A and B are shown apart, each in its own frame.
Chain A
Amino acid sequence: MELIDLSLIWAVIIGFAIIMYVLMDGFDLGVGILFPFAPDEQSRDIMMNSVAPVWDGNETWLVLGGAGLLGAFPLVYSTFLPALYIGVFLMLAGLIFRGVAFEFRFKANRKRPWNWAFAGGSTVAAFAQGAVGGAYVQGFNTVDKVYVGGAFDWLTPFTVMTGLGLLAGYALLGTTWLIMKSEGHTQDWAYRITPRLLFAVLIVFGLISVWTPLVDDFVRERWFGNLGIIWVLPALALLSTYILWRAVRKRQEGMPFVATMAMFIFTYLGLLVSKWPYMVPPNYTIWDAASAPGSQLFLLIGMLFIIPIVLAYTAWTYWVFRGKVRADAGYH
């Protein structure tokens, strides 16, 4: 029966969906976070137009990952959501508000209320996602596969830190995206604030990297138990930040975004390495969290069908809307 490890395949799929979501919704959430600080309304139009064709497709990965979790790793679904009850609500409310604000801002003549809904929703959603990530590192208070902790266990100084970290990280993805997609004074503004955001991200990520091994024995053992190949990941993440910094100084247009994405990917892999194979830390691994093999297989067929389609469709969308964005220009 166990010729192939379905749980492992599913862990890869879910892990892939999460990083796709973080990178792609990350930059459009980042654009929302930066919205109030934009130099003028014209820049806001450019910012919004730059993510308009893709933002909803980006959120596809959140839904795909969430649905996949219920089907393949129900334990994650049934412990994370109760444990992060308030945080999940805030994230959903934020995502809904910004989505609707997005649609109606285009149709509205009075844009101000929609601006605030867009910015507020993006900021709340980003912070909540960062805190959720922090709560995963922190682990969950479970007994017999049931979450038994309180409503605010997830809200600790550590998760506030990870929330702010992701907020800054998404904003960085947002500015580097804008460097690539805009020109003129909007691009100048993006170039100006990128180094500051990079500085903030480095400080917060640095604090988290020092903090985690101090409070978590498992993570400390993983990283300092044997000085192995895994240290390549933080090294590559640091190299990416250097490339990003240099690219901004040279006013390159595409490289800052690529470097920021690389920084995210290596940090994310570092996080996975820290916790592997625990899916509901500190007690349950991916195999403990799995659903019945028959259910995993049944759903896998559908996923293997839909993921290439979503990928192709996504790639096509980005290709169609490549190039610089202007405030007034329609795309069609």
Chain B
Amino acid sequence: MELDPLLLSRIQFAFVVSFHAIFPVFSIGLASYIALLEGLFYKTGNPLWSRLSHFWIKIFAVVFGMGVVSGIVMSFQFGTNWSNFSYATANFIGPLLSYEVITAFFLEAAFLGVLLFGRNKVPPGTHLFAAGMVALGTFISSFWILATNSWMHTPAGVELQDGIFQITSWTEAIFNPSFPYRFMHMGLASFLTGGFVVAGVSAWYLLRGRDVEANRKALSMCLWLLLIIAPAQAVIGDYHGLNTLEHQPTKVAAMEGNWETQNGVPLLLFAIPSKETQSNSFEIGIPKLASFILTHDMNGEVPGLKEVPVAEQPPVALVFWSFRLMVGIGVLMILFAFAGAWLRWRGQLYDHRFFLRGMSWMIGAPFVAVIAGWFVTETGRAPWLVQGMMSHSEGLTPSLTGAMALFTLIGYITVYAVVFTAGIYYITRIVKAGMEHDESGDTDEVERPSRPMSAAHIPFDKPATPPTSG
């Protein structure tokens, strides 16, 4: 069997970046939540806020550490598997990705340590300031990453000279047409992720009657937040879609499973799109709704996939179904937010076991939605790496063979399986230990901001029955 280095590299990148995305998308939202808790504590002096903050800082420390580790692999992927892309685009992506690193280091050196370890060592105002700066820093980091990514979808401010992208305008390149939409969409996604995880964990504690007062507060404030941002995300997502329609019509056609450019396109709820037959089977749809959503006119024209040659069509079924998964979870999130508001109004919010159980099941949902969303936007750009200017096959490392790509793909899967199983297992240990866990400094650990995980002191495993160390 012939191993295709292009396909394997794409699978590898998708795997590595999906795994990586889990961590920052959570830590960005969580950092803001922690800053909010610190602000409330500073203002009211109520120790309940500080207890909540203390607990979530531990989780944040581990998630941040995992994000950094998986991010290092990302920064080498561009060179190992996509060297032509790296070389051609380095004038733009080189400085931007480096600025992300610089932001992260500055944040770590200056503020992370104060946030993680400084509670009793610096004045409360300073601690609050550090919490705010960490939250801001996570946004600045994502600013650079999303500017780079958006530019690949809607390249601007550059021209190709001898196969190299030369910058003609830094502002146009950084603030390219899809950047504001993607940045807002991702920002809200981070808040949704943070909100659903905190709410879900609080609900889990409430079901077990643990630390009821603090967890009620946490659940309540998260549900207020979700009530606003879950519907807001639908609106922002719509604007993002309209922007995509303008710049990447083929991607939108794949999202809608629309083959012919036509008017009055139905919104498909179910279909099995096939690139071979250039059509869908088993279509179930709501008439004219896709046209209405995309053009705000029942009979508006929606571009079709057949506008471009088959070779320039993305993998339609993957885009189509990832999009439905993302939107489906989005709708579910809105329903949960509304259900929470209704139960609150009825005064049953904290006692409705069915709802609480549902909230704790929703912990995983935002992560799935985020990854599905990235699948839509990234595979929807195929076959382009830089929309309209450089294709995946042009960007691939020329010397890469299928066997090499397969070797590292299996390797990364193995490494990640071990490392992240340990990490996620450890996070569940921290959650199970709970806010009641006493931290009277019974540790021999060296606490350092450059080792964020040293902020959590929960044992990794149960004490060994036969002592192994002397």
Contacts and interface: CB of A to CB of B under 8 A. Distances in A.
A250 interface: no
B118 to A, nearest CB: 12
B247 interface: no
B401 A151 contact: yes
B461 A110 contact: yes
Contacts of A305: 102
Given A100-B419, A108-B459, A302 B398 contact: no
A151 B401 CA distance: 8
Interface string B407-427: 110011001001100110010
B129 to A, nearest CB: 18
Contact of A68 (B73, B98, B400): B98
6 contacts: A56-B448, A67-B94, A106-B445, A109-B468, A294-B91, A330-B446
B446 A313 contact: no
B411 A96 contact: no
A309 B107 CA distance: 11
B323 interface: no
A235 interface: no
Contacts of A185: none
A42 B470 contact: yes
Contacts of B460: 104, 107-109
A32 interface: no
Interface string B379-399: 000000000000000000111
Size range of the chain B interface in the assembly: 35 or more
Given A70-B79, A71-B95, A313-B109, A56 B459 contact: no
A330 B117 CA distance: 14
B225 interface: no
Contacts, number: 228
Interface string A295-315: 100110011011001100100
Given A68-B98, A106-B443, A298-B170, 5 more contacts: A78-B83, A107-B459, A146-B84, A303-B98, A305-B102
From DSSP, what is the main secondary structure of chain A's interface residues?
A: helix
Interface stretch (A79-87, A156-164, A197-205, A207-215): A79-87
Q: Among A88, A93, A103, which residue has the most Cβ atoms of chain B within 10 A? A: A103
Contact of B101 (A63, A74, A77, A112): A63
Interface in A32-69: 40-42, 45, 49, 52-57, 60, 63-64, 66-68
Interface string B77-121: 011100110110011111101110110011001100000000000
Nearest to A313: B109
A317 interface: yes
Interface in A148-171: 148-151
